[in-house]
Structure 1
Amino acid sequence: MKLVNDAKKAVALVKKARRSRAAYREVTGAMRQQGPLERGRFQIAVYFADGDVNMYQIRQWYRPLQELAKTWPVVVIARNATGAKAIVNDGALPVAFVPEVRGVERFIERQDIRIVLYVNQNTRNFQMFRYGRRWHVFINHGESDKMYMTTNQYKAYDYALIAGQAARDRLARTLWDFDLDNKTLDIGRPQADHYSGVTPFADDGRTVVLYAPTWEGDRPAAAYGSIATHGEALVATLLADPRYRVIYRPHPRSGVVDAAYGEANRRIIAAVAAANAADPSAQHVFDDKPELGWQLAAADVAIVDISAMVYDRLAVGKPLMVTRPVDPSADVDESGYLGACDWLTTAGSADIVPELTRVLEDPDTTSRLAVWVQHYFGDTAPGAPTARFHAAITQLMTKWERFASE
């Protein structure tokens, strides 16, 4: 068995290397065709050292960054070939593909980068930290109560842009000797001002259920994914019931670590396709598109794992359930919303209809969720998060100018 597994890993590595080389050729060709970026044009850079498997982390920032770029020009510094290729193909923001450190060096010399934004904790972020006389700012890729949200790596950045009071409390409980008041700025969730996409079905009276599980995680403490424990049972039940329409939106990393998890994901996707083939009017949806917004608005109830999707849905103020992790090692922080949420256990997922009915018919849902929305995001009125995001960047720019003139 070990030899078989080793052989599979070797084949996967070869395929990955080939794919990376192909992406490198394509993106370098695109860069040559584009020509050099205008010298001194950009003042804000988004540093992205990941491959395309983690594109969800930067894609959710495209629209807020495009809006910001109207005031402060923004460029993406991409270090990985497959990630750079995806960003170039998306065409949302200008790209500098600099796989080697000397390329980063040349780019920094040519541009007036005052703020560097980071959407994740890639270890290669450290290579960018070497450059002083600019602010290094962690903006993350979502608000949640995952253990990821309290990593001690926050201290490596000059500043962190956080969603609101819940994040502030979470960091205060966990990080020792972290200057929270001076190193963090609250901005809410600016992505909420740019939710996008067109609903691909008409309202026909079916109850729409969004099931948006996360991936399996890379360690027991982060084992929040529910596809293999809850997902197959609950989706099968809902697909078989003509009163329901399912929107299935799995995390793009599903199955990256655990092959069995990936297989369960593929079975659900196949089941959605089979249900639509049997009854085209059902219009169930397997959603793997980058746009996020219509799903949250169209769903009467959402079933999500412990992830940023809890809080994206929470901000909408509509009913949701959170899957209870099966692994006892999973780190579940119940000091916030997770201490008051509607949990879905594996037993409940096998008998999902009564669970959904209970949540949908709860008369206190709207008022209860409103309290948590304020705690996590502050003012969510249209335009308010964008205004706070821009105000935070302006504050950092003003401080940069003060330091630069000394």
Structure 2
Amino acid sequence: MTNARIAALAALGVGALVLAALGAPPLVVAALVAVAGALEVVGQLGPIALRSTLRTPDAVSRAAAAAAALAALVTTGVTAATVCAGAAAVVALGVVWLEGLVGYAWREATRVVERLPGYTAPHSLGARQQVITAGWYLAVVLATLTADGRSGELVLGLAALVVALGTAAAFVLVTRAAIRAKATVTARIAQALRSYDAPVMVYLSGPEGTEYQLGVWLRTLERLSVRLVVVVRETALARVVAGMTSLPVVSAPAMADLEGLQVETFRVALYVNNGAKNGHNVRYRELTHVQLLHGDSDKPSSYNPVTAMFDKIFVAGQAGIDRYAAHGVEIPADKFVVVGRPQVADIAAAAPGAPLRTVLYAPTWTGFNQDNDFGSLDPTGPAIVRALLARGWTVVFRPHPYSLDDARSLAAIEEIHQLLEADAAASGHEHVFGDRASSTMSIVDCFNLSDALVSDVSSVPADYLYSAKPFVITQVDDGPSDAFLDEFPLARASYVARLKEPGSLEAALDALEHDASSSEREAMRSYYLGDFPRDEYADVFGRAVEALVASRCPAPAAPVPGTPGGAR
């Protein structure tokens, strides 16, 4: 379910309980419960994962809906009909409680396994769960309607009890089947993995939204000549990833699940972040563990000491090696492999003498902590866009994906969208923003559409170096300029806009328009992105992965005399 649907579900259930407690007509309460039921059944049309705790919003909604039925019945008085309906509501509450206890079995039996050749699930629980959900809500609706006191209430009460008991029985039977199936799921996955014989595991773990970190690499990974399997620790994240790639995807939410995936065919594991659960997999020493990271920048995340635990660290250029030592993180030199930044291979080079007409504004996000907050979006983003529009430039606006989860950043994004809409109507400029810039187009598409860039300290300007086009990097604090350049060397190839210094943004945009730093950018391009010919650039990463796989393969046995290839 989407976050919006889950929130709506919780609001409907709690709303029904509040109205019932306030004495609202049972028909109104039943209507809210029915809408919640329809919403949940529709939300279960995709892969199923039962809730694991009563704290989750959909479980809260169900518990509140059943409690609403009881609250409505309390005001009606004791009759045979209300006793039956009350019993139905109690049974419904019991089912919600049981779900929290045995949800693990459902999740295990419905683990995400997509496009893994040779794997067949023990059975499908999706349709059964939808039937159980529909039956549960029907029982609660009937129990609530019994409180209306109209003729036929005994029939309604009995029907509610029968449906509730039938739903509970179905839940118990299906859960029993899921528990039995649980024992075979891991073995089936392991057998399919052995048959598929993929030497590379791509490991991902993180909170909701982390999929973009893998997305940065997917096109490159899908082009490799070796087979890969994507292993995702979080079930919800695995479902999202499965919809993003043609590669096989397997979820492994529990440690036992991950243990079961450690088949002998895997030789190399690739990682795209420093997620807290990476250590769960790095402990398997049969693999060569390789940190790729999802961006190569001067941010602290690109010289995190945790990276030292990996066997190999792939970096785009020498800058990726030097920044560790520059910040006191000592890592043996033989762990580093310069592979370029394959994602930039499709970035078009700047046309000589091309006029500056279109500028990409691609701010980063606020970061998980203050040390990683280099974002200009809040509160300066709208002012930056106004300055770009004032020069008559067409604007491409692409904020960081995580900015969409921050309230203050969202407000700035909305203000920028309004600015661009108003200017487009007034000037006729075809600004690019919203879903078109962030979803329909890739970041490379945005690079190629633009003539220049305004961004923050992040991997975006580093990647933009490949285009040889000019760019502005913002300095969001009021620290000394020299210290900023020392901390973030890439800024030496940019025009720095010190956002807390009056006039600095305009000065940087003036310099952008009359670009005179192309030679500095070229030198920095080799330093940050590797010194590889353009016609071979996209292949460097793949060769590095293939070499690691080959280094972990057992040496071929010597031919036996008298057999093909052996001496006679």
- Say whether 1:25 aligns with 2:48: yes
Q: 1:205 to 1:175 in 2, by over 3 A?
A: closer
Q: 2:233 aligns with which of 47, 56, 79?
A: 79
Task: Show the counterpart of 2:399.
Answer: 250
Q: Deviations over 1:332-390 (max 9, x none)?
A: 56252224531112267878555323222133x22221010011122353343333212
SS of the residue corresponding to residue 337 of structure 2 reads strand
Where does 1:260-339 land on structure 2 (aligned, <5 Å)?
Answer: 260-279=408-427, 281-286=428-433, 287-289=437-439, 291-326=442-477, 332=484, 334=486, 336-339=489-492
1:304 deviation in Å? 0.6
- Say whether 1:385 aligns with 2:532: no
Task: Show the counterpart of 1:371.
Answer: 523
Structure 1: how far apart are the matches of 2:510 and 2:271? Answer: 41
Q: 1:113 aligns with which of 266, 275, 281?
A: 266
Structure 2: how far apart are the matches of 1:354 and 1:341? Answer: 12
Amino acid in structure 1 at the alignment position of 2:446? Q
Q: 1:45 aligns with which of 196, 201, 215?
A: 201
Structure 2: how far apart are the matches of 1:103 and 1:377? Answer: 37
Q: 1:223 to 1:215 in 2, by over 3 A?
A: same
Where does 1:3-402 land on structure 2 (aligned, <5 Å)?
Answer: 25=48, 28=110, 31=113, 36=119, 38-40=192-194, 41=196, 42-68=198-224, 70=225, 72-109=226-263, 112-179=265-332, 181-194=333-346, 207-239=357-389, 243-254=392-403, 256=405, 259-279=407-427, 281-286=428-433, 287-289=437-439, 291-326=442-477, 332=484, 334=486, 336-346=489-499, 355-363=508-516, 365-401=517-553
Q: 1:332 to 1:96 in 2, by over 3 A?
A: farther
Q: Deviations over 1:166-195 (max 9, x none)?
A: 11111222345421x211111011112245
1:74 deviation in Å? 0.9
RMSD: 3.3
Structure 2: how far apart are the matches of 1:177 and 1:352? Answer: 37
Q: 1:404 to 1:153 in 2, by over 3 A?
A: farther
Q: 1:260 to 1:391 in 2, by over 3 A?
A: same
Q: 1:58 to 1:378 in 2, by over 3 A?
A: same
Structure 2: how far apart are the matches of 1:372 and 1:214? Answer: 21
Q: Deviations over 1:241-263 (max 9, x none)?
A: 5x21000010001164x532332
Larger Rg: 2
Structure 2: how far apart are the matches of 1:253 and 1:95? Answer: 23
Structure 1: how far apart are the matches of 2:276 and 2:382? Answer: 35
Task: Tell me, yes or no, if the aligned pair for 1:230 and 1:350 is still in contact at 8 Å.
Answer: no
Deviates more, 1:345-354 or 1:116-125: 345-354
Amino acid in structure 2 at the alignment position of 1:357? D
In the superposition, the TM-score normalised over structure 2's length comes to 0.60
Structure 1: how far apart are the matches of 2:243 and 2:220? Answer: 19
Q: Deviations over 1:267-313 (max 9, x none)?
A: 2233323433455x311111212622121122111001000001011
Structure 2: how far apart are the matches of 1:133 and 1:308? Answer: 32
1:99 deviation in Å? 1.6
Amino acid in structure 1 at the alignment position of 2:432? V
Task: Tell me, yes or no, if the aligned pair for 2:114 and 2:248 is still in contact at 8 Å.
Answer: no
For structure 1, list consecutive stretches of 5 or more residues without a partner in the other structure. Answer: 1-10, 197-203
Task: Tell me, yes or no, if the aligned pair for 1:210 and 1:301 is still in contact at 8 Å.
Answer: yes
Aligned residues: 375
Task: Tell me, yes or no, if the aligned pair for 2:199 and 2:549 is still in contact at 8 Å.
Answer: no
Q: 1:375 to 1:83 in 2, by over 3 A?
A: same
Amino acid in structure 1 at the alignment position of 2:209? V
SS of the residue corresponding to residue 309 of structure 1 reads helix
SS of the residue corresponding to residue 53 of structure 1 reads coil
SS of the residue corresponding to residue 310 of structure 1 reads helix
Q: 1:30 to 1:116 in 2, by over 3 A?
A: closer
Task: Tell me, yes or no, if the aligned pair for 2:379 and 2:412 is still in contact at 8 Å.
Answer: no
Q: Deviations over 1:93-137 (max 9, x none)?
A: 22112222222222223x611111000011011111221211111
Amino acid in structure 2 at the alignment position of 1:141? H
Task: Tell me, yes or no, if the aligned pair for 2:233 and 2:252 is still in contact at 8 Å.
Answer: yes
Structure 2: how far apart are the matches of 1:371 and 1:396? Answer: 30
Q: 1:193 to 1:107 in 2, by over 3 A?
A: same
Structure 2: how far apart are the matches of 1:337 and 1:33? Answer: 41
Task: Show the counterpart of 1:201.
Answer: none
Amino acid in structure 1 at the alignment position of 2:401? P
Deviates more, 1:131-140 or 1:27-36: 27-36
SS of the residue corresponding to residue 321 of structure 1 reads strand
Q: 1:127 to 1:378 in 2, by over 3 A?
A: same
Structure 1: how far apart are the matches of 2:360 and 2:305? Answer: 33
Task: Tell me, yes or no, if the aligned pair for 1:159 and 1:184 is still in contact at 8 Å.
Answer: yes
Q: 1:132 to 1:267 in 2, by over 3 A?
A: same
Task: Tell me, yes or no, if the aligned pair for 2:204 and 2:232 is still in contact at 8 Å.
Answer: yes
For structure 2, list consecutive stretches of 5 or more residues without a partner in the other structure. Answer: 1-6, 12-39, 50-106, 120-188, 349-353, 558-568
